[in-house]
Structure 1
Amino acid sequence: MSNPDSFNLFSFTGKTKILHLSWIAFFISFVVWFNHAPLALAISESLGLTREELKTLLILNVALTIPARVIIGMLTDVYGPRKVYSGLLAVCSIPCFMYAMADDFTQAAIARFLLGTIGAGFVVGIRLVSEWFPARQLGTAEGIYGGWGNFGSAAAAMSLPTLALVFGGDDGWRYAIGLTGVISLLFSVVFYMNVTDTPKGSTYFRPKSVGAMEVTSKGDFALLLVMKIPMYAALALLTWKLSPNGVAMLSAEISTAIYVVLAAIYLFDSWKVWQVNKHIFSEPVPAIHQYQFKQVAVLNVLYFATFGSELAVISMLPLFFADTFELDPVMAGLVASAYAFMNLMSRPGGGLLSDKFGRKITLLVLTAGLAGGYYMMSIIDSSWPLVLAVVAAMACSFFVQAGEGAVFAAVPLIKRRLTGQIAGMTGAYGNVGAVFYLTVLSLVDYSTFFMVIAGTAVLGFFTLFMMEEPKGQIAEVMPDGSVTMIDVT
C-alpha cells in the first residue's frame, strides 16, 4: 500500500494521477482559450479584420470568464469536479469549432465571447486537488496544477503557428484551432472515465445552500457585497470599451441596456446573498463553523495584481519589445514568451515556498518582489541591452507567478465546502485585474502601465497585514449531521 504522505511526481496512481489529469485538463483549457493569439495575423487577413476589431476579440476573450468562474465554482461545489470539468471541456469545444468556421468579425466575436467560459476550468481543478492532497502538500500540488496548466498559453503560442503551416493554405489556421477543439472534446471523456471527486472513503462536502456564497458574520455579509462590485464594474468597463466611446462595436442604446442589466443582476445577486445568509442576522453562527471572509477578500486583491497583470502583460509584451527595441514581430514574440515560460517552475515554486515557510510570509515577500519587478519593467527603455530587459521581465515573471501559486496555496484552507466558490471569486478577480490593466494600457504609455501595476501590488502588500495565517482545523458537517475536523496546517 502506498504511503499517503509520499509525493512521487512520476507516479500515475492515486492522488498523483488525479494531479496529472487535472493539470492536463487545465493545460488543454488554456490552449483552447488562447488559441487565437499566435494566429492573430492569419485570422485578421483571412477575415479582413481591422486592428480595432482584432483588439476587440482580445477583450471579448476574457469578458465571460469573470462571471463564468463564479458560476463554475458554485457548480463544482454542488455537482463535483469530475462532472463539471468533463462537461466544460466538452461544451466549450462547440464555440471553438464555431471560431474555426467563422466567416466574418461578428461570427468570430460571438464565438470568442463564448470561449471565455473555458477559462473558468481553473477553479474546478483547485477544488479537486484540495480533496486529494493534505494541507502540508497542498501548496506544492496546487502550484504544479496551476503552473503546468497555465503553460498551455505558451504551448499554444509555440505550436499552433507551426500546425497552421503544416495544414497549409489560407485555412491552415482554421484546422489548427479546430484541432484544439477536438482535443478538448476527447479529453473530456478521458477525464470523466478516470477521475473521482475524492479518495475512496472520503466525503465530498457540499454547500448548505446554492446560489450565493455563505458567510458567517454580519460584517462579512457587507464585505461580500462590496467585493462583488469590482466584478460588475469590470463588465461595465468592457461594455464601455465596446461602446461608441471605444471601438463602437455596440450602439449607445445597447451599451446603456447592458449597464442597466448589470445593475439589475447585481441587485438580484445581492438578494440571493441575503436569502442564503439572512439567518446570521437572527442567530449567530457557532464559533466552530465560522470562517473569515476577509481572508477571501485579501486573496482576491492579490490575485487581481498577480494573475490580472500576467494576463495583461502576456497580451502586450510582444508589442512592448517590438516598439522599444525595434524587433520584428516573430523575434518580439519569441523574446516575450520567456515571461510565460516561467510558469513551469515559478507557480509550483510559490506553492512549495508557501508549504515550507507559511502562507502569509511567503505572500508578503513575493508581493514585495512583484512591486519591485514591475517598477524595474517601468524603467526599461531602448538604451538597455535587450538581454538585460529579458532578464528583468523573467525576474518579474517569477514573482508574479510564484505569487499566484502562493495565493492558491491558501484558498483551499479557508472553508472546504466553499472551495470552488472561493476559488471562483478569487480567479474572477484575476480577470477583473486583466480588464483593468488592459484598459489602463489603452490610455497611457508602457512605463506608466507598469507603474500602475506596481502601485496595485503595493496596495496588495498592505492588505496582506489583515490576513491571518491558516492554522489548526476547520469544521465540516458530515451527511449524517456529525462534525469532522480537517487539518489546515
Structure 2
Amino acid sequence: MSQSSSFDLFDWSDPKIKTLHCTWFAFFLTFFVWFSHAPLLVFIRDAFDLSSQQVKALLILNVALTIPARIVIGMLVDKLGPRLVYSGLLVTSAVICLGFATADSYQALALFRFLLGFVGAGFVIGIRMVGEWFPARQVGLAEGIYGGWGNFGSAAGAMTLPTIALLFGGEDGWRYALGLIGVIAGIYGLVYYRIARNTPKGSTYFKPKKTGGLEVTSRVDLYFYLLMNVPMYLALAALAYKLSPSGVALLSQGATYGMWILLAVLFAAQTKMIWRVNRDHLEEGVPEFEKYSFRQVAILDVAYFVTFGSELAVVSMLPLFFLETFEGLSPVKAGLLASGFAFMNLVARPTGGYFSDKLGRRRSLMFLIGGLAVGYFVLSQIDGSWWISAAVIATMCCSFFVQAGEGAVFAIVPLVKRRMTGQIAGMAGAYGNVGAVTFLTALSYVSYSQFFLIICGAAAVIFFACLFLEEPKGNIAEVLPDGTVQLISVE
C-alpha cells in the first residue's frame, strides 16, 4: 500500500476509497437524522401548539443522550466491529425517527427526541473503520474527509427537509419528510452491512482484552482516566438542571434529584468497571512494548472540547447573534449568514487532517487551536458598527480553524492504540458535547462578546496543554489472538 499522504478520491477500484465513501455517507445519514427536527421545528411547533419552553426542551433532549452514547458505541465498535455497529445504528435510528414522525403527543415527541440523541454517536464508528483501512500517512486526510463530509448531513437536512415537507403539503408534510429520511437510513443500514468490511483482506481486527473501559498502562494513568470521566457526568447533571423547574420545566424537582442520584450511581458503577478492567494487568505489570500514555487521550479530549464543543455552541447561537447585532436583518437572512460557519466543514476538516499528515501531528494541532483562539477574539470585537460582510468573513475564517482543528484531533486518535480506537474516539467525541454544554451554559450568564472571549481563553489554555502531547512515532504494538506481537506503523 502506498505511503503517500495523498490518494485518488475517485478511484472506486481501490477498496479503501470505496470504504471511505460508503462510511462517510453512513455518517452523513446519522447527522441528517439527528438534526432533522431543527429545520422542521416551525411545523412541529404549530402542529402541537408548543410553547417556547417546550421547544427549548426538545433541543436540549436532542443532545442529552449523546455524551454516554459515544462512550457505549466506542466500546461496541472495538468489540463487535464498525460494520455491524454502523448497520445496527442506522436501522435503529430509522425506527426511532419513524416513531418521532408518528408521535401524537408532546410526551412522545420528547421521548423519541431523547432517544435520537443516541444516533449522534455514529461519528465514532467511522473513525475506527477509516483508521483500519488507511495507512498512517493518509489517515489524517481520510478521517478529515469522513468527518467533514459526513458532518455536512446536518446542513443538508436544513436545506432540504422544509422543501420536502412543503412538497408533501398539508399539516402532516413534516411527518412525511421525517419518515422518508428514516426509511432511507434504515435501507442504507442494510446496504452498509452488505458492502462494508471491518479491515482490508488479510488484516487482523484487534479487540480489547476486556470491555467496560479503556485499558491503561500505569496506576497514574488509571487515576487520570477516572478524573477525566468527571466532567462528562457534570455535563449530564447540568442538562438535567436545564430540564428542571429552574430551566424549561420538563422534569419535576423530584425527578431532577432522581436524575442526579442516578448519575452518581452510574459514575460509581463505571468507576468499578474501569478498575476491574485494569486491575489484573496493572498488578502483573504491562510489557514495555504495549505501553502508551493516557495523557495523549486527555489532551485530545480537551482539544475536541474546544473545537467541536465551540462549533456546536456557536452554531446554536449565531443566527440570533447576527439578528441582534445588526439592525434590519430578517430571521431568514440571519440564518443564511450564520450557515457559513457549518458549511466550512466540507473543506476545513479534510484540510486539518491533511496538515496533520504533512506538517506533523502536534505542530498542526497547536497551529489550528492557536488560530481558533485568535478567531474567537476577533468575533468578540464584532458590534453593530461592523460591515456585515466583514463580520461574515471573520466568522468563516474562525470556523475554518475550528473545524480544521477537529480534523487534526481525529488524525491522531487512530494512532494512539489501534485496538481501543473506538473507545478513544468515543471519549473525545463525548468531550465535544461536554464543551457544547459548558459554553452554552456560560452564554446564559454573559454577553455575546464575553461568550466568545471565554472560548478564546479556553483555547489559549489548551494550546499550551498541547505542548505536552507526544507525537505518535514508530509503531503501535498489538498482540494477536495466538499471543504473537504485530507492529503497526504510525509514521
TM-score normalised according to structure 2 size: 0.98
**Matched residue, 1:372:** 374
**Matched residue, 2:47:** 46
What CA deviation, in whole Å up to 9, does each residue of 1:138-182 have, x standing for no partner? 000000000000011111111111111111122111111111111
User: SS of the residue aligned with 2:284?
Assistant: coil
The one-letter amino acid paired with 2:299 is: V
What CA deviation, in whole Å up to 9, does each residue of 1:193-230 have, x standing for no partner? 10000000000000000111110001100000000001
Q: Distance in 2 between matches of 1:26 and 1:347?
A: 14
Q: Distance in 2 between matches of 1:459 and 1:177?
A: 42
Deviation at 1:40, TM superposition (A): 1.6
User: SS of the residue aligned with 1:92?
Assistant: helix
Greater CA deviation, 3-12 or 437-446? 3-12
8 Å Cα contact 2:356/2:411 also seen in 1? yes
Deviation at 1:281, TM superposition (A): 4.3
Aligned pairs (5 A) from 1:326-341:
326=327, 327-341=329-343
Q: Distance in 2 between matches of 1:353 and 1:229?
A: 32
User: SS of the residue aligned with 1:282?
Assistant: helix
Aligned pairs (5 A) from 1:21-36:
21-36=22-37
Q: Does 1:473 align with 2:484?
A: no
The one-letter amino acid paired with 2:105 is: D
What CA deviation, in whole Å up to 9, does each residue of 1:295-319 have, x standing for no partner? 0000000000000111111111111
**Matched residue, 1:188:** 189
8 Å Cα contact 2:3/2:137 also seen in 1? no
Deviation at 1:104, TM superposition (A): 2.8
Deviation at 1:458, TM superposition (A): 1.1
Q: Which blocks of at least 5 consecutive residues in structure 1 are unaligned?
A: none
**Matched residue, 1:10:** 10
Greater CA deviation, 450-459 or 118-127? 450-459
Greater CA deviation, 209-218 or 161-170? 161-170
**Matched residue, 1:303:** 304
**Matched residue, 2:249:** 248
8 Å Cα contact 1:217/1:280 also seen in 2? no
Deviation at 1:282, TM superposition (A): 2.2
**Matched residue, 1:257:** 258
8 Å Cα contact 1:73/1:420 also seen in 2? yes
The one-letter amino acid paired with 1:461 is: F
The one-letter amino acid paired with 2:296 is: Q
The one-letter amino acid paired with 1:453 is: I
Greater CA deviation, 113-122 or 318-327? 318-327
**Matched residue, 1:152:** 153
The one-letter amino acid paired with 2:12 is: F
Q: Distance in 1 between matches of 2:443 and 2:16?
A: 42
Greater CA deviation, 427-436 or 276-285? 276-285
The one-letter amino acid paired with 2:253 is: A
Identity of aligned residues (%): 59
User: SS of the residue aligned with 2:339?
Assistant: helix
Q: Distance in 1 between matches of 2:331 and 2:99?
A: 28
The one-letter amino acid paired with 1:83 is: L
Q: Distance in 2 between matches of 1:455 and 1:108?
A: 38
**Matched residue, 2:210:** 209
**Matched residue, 2:464:** 462
Q: Distance in 2 between matches of 1:321 and 1:147?
A: 25
User: SS of the residue aligned with 1:349?
Assistant: helix
Q: Distance in 2 between matches of 1:434 and 1:95?
A: 24
8 Å Cα contact 2:213/2:277 also seen in 1? yes
CA RMSD, 1 decimal: 1.2
Q: Does 1:177 align with 2:178?
A: yes
TM-score normalised according to structure 1 size: 0.98
**Matched residue, 2:287:** 286
The one-letter amino acid paired with 1:72 is: I
Q: Does 1:136 align with 2:158?
A: no
8 Å Cα contact 2:3/2:138 also seen in 1? no
**Matched residue, 1:219:** 220
Q: Distance in 2 between matches of 1:218 and 1:266?
A: 19
What CA deviation, in whole Å up to 9, does each residue of 1:384-438 have, x standing for no partner? 1111111011001000000000000000000000000000000010011111112
Deviation at 1:280, TM superposition (A): 4.5
What CA deviation, in whole Å up to 9, does each residue of 1:95-154 have, x standing for no partner? 211111223322111111100011101010000000000000000000000000001111
